[in-house]
Amino acid sequence: MTARILDGKAIANAIRQEISVEVSTFREKFSTSPKLVAVLVGEDPASQVYVRNKEIACQKSGIESDIRRLSATTTTEELLAALDALNADSSVHGILVQLPLPDIIDARRVLDRIDPKKDVDAFSPENVGLMFQGRPRFLPCTPHGVMQLLDRCEIAIQGKEVVVVGRSDIVGKPLVSLCLQKNGPRGPSNANATVTCCHSQTHELAQITRRADILLVAIGKPNWVTASMVKPGAVVVDIGINRLGDRLVGDVDFDSVSQVASAITPVPGGVGPLTIAMLLENTLRAAEQQLSSPSKL
Ligand code: GUN
């Protein structure tokens, strides 16, 4: 079997086009643009690229954006003060703090300080709780991108055995929650799965991954899932991005797994582009919510 390639880049482009149209309508209605501010602390090269890509994507879809660059010696208190100012600025609708933060900063306190109504990463306890209860304000960008990808490729997960490999707060845990819901971002067929989550302490992990109809991998280890861990005909979504020499590779060994899976995402060009598309969507929704009911803020 040679797997169908799930083209995340093309799907992300389609979503970005839909968002651009909605942003135009928003601008006509409110005579202003949705605005995102990304806070970047320090000089981490990968973070600089990610934040720059987010800025370019915003510009292309008509969303205003600003990068607030702070030095690597910024203290937690200084960062909290910068967030307080952004929370209070009504022209800013979405705020994100690019991770990872330097070790001297208390990341939990920082993320907790972002106004949940502007928390377009959906990392705050309030937004995580709303998502778990099935009444989301925003969905976290990468897990939401995975759900969009599956549905737009006409892969229903309802009643299927989904195995998530990885339990991070940003990807693994929210993916488990989204797959379990009664209703997904694209309807009931985009939810209602039977979900198992594997992690570093899981025994006999390959036995579990081999049960999966849909295998979602976010473990952060290059080429870690091999063909023997995948059921023939499974759909495999690779959410990893790892640098191997001068190449970017996923968490899934693409060459071997694409021989047994029925469908697979490439890296790059799979889930990555969808993360940015969903950030644009969250920024637009944040702006709509704030301008439609400003008195509730
Ligand atoms: N670093 C890696 N992924 C992310 C993300 O989705 N959001 C933020 N803020 N930082 C990240």
Could you tell me if the CB of 124 is within 6 A of ligand 1?
no
Looking at residue 295, what is its pLDDT? Answer: 57
**CATH 3.40.50.720 residue spans of the chain:** 140-273
**Cα Rg of the chain, angstroms:** 19
140-273 CATH, one of 3.40.50.720, 3.30.56.10, 3.30.420.40, 3.30.70.1250: 3.40.50.720
Nearest by Cα to 138 from 187, 178, 195, 167: 178
What is the model's pTM? 0.97
Alpha helices in the chain (DSSP H): 8-30, 45-60, 76-88, 107-113, 125-132, 141-152, 172-180, 205-209, 254-257, 272-292
Residue 200: alpha-carbon gap to chain centroid: 22
Burial of 28 (0-12, 13-18, 19+ CB in 10 A): exposed
Residues of the chain with CATH 3.40.50.10860: 32-121
Instruction: Please report which helix (H) or strand (E) contains residue 217, including its range.
Output: strand 214-217
Per-residue tokens: 2? 């040679």
What CATH number does the domain located at 32-121 have?
3.40.50.10860
For residues 90-116, give the mean pLDDT: 97
Return the active site residues.
54, 98, 121
- Residue 162: per-residue pLDDT: 98
* CB 36 near ligand 1, within 6 Å: no
Residue 294 pLDDT class (50, 70, 90 cuts): low
Cα(99) to ligand 1 centroid in Å equals 5
pLDDT tops 80 at residue 255: yes
With a cut of 60, say whether residue 297 has pLDDT above it.
Answer: no
* pLDDT(296) > 80: no
Task: Tell me the per-residue pLDDT of 151-191, one tens digit each, with 9 for 90 and over.
Answer: 999 999 999 999 999 999 999 999 999 999 999 999 999 99
Is residue 264's pLDDT more than 60?
yes
Q: With beta carbons less than 8 A apart as the criterion, state whether 280 and 61 touch.
A: yes
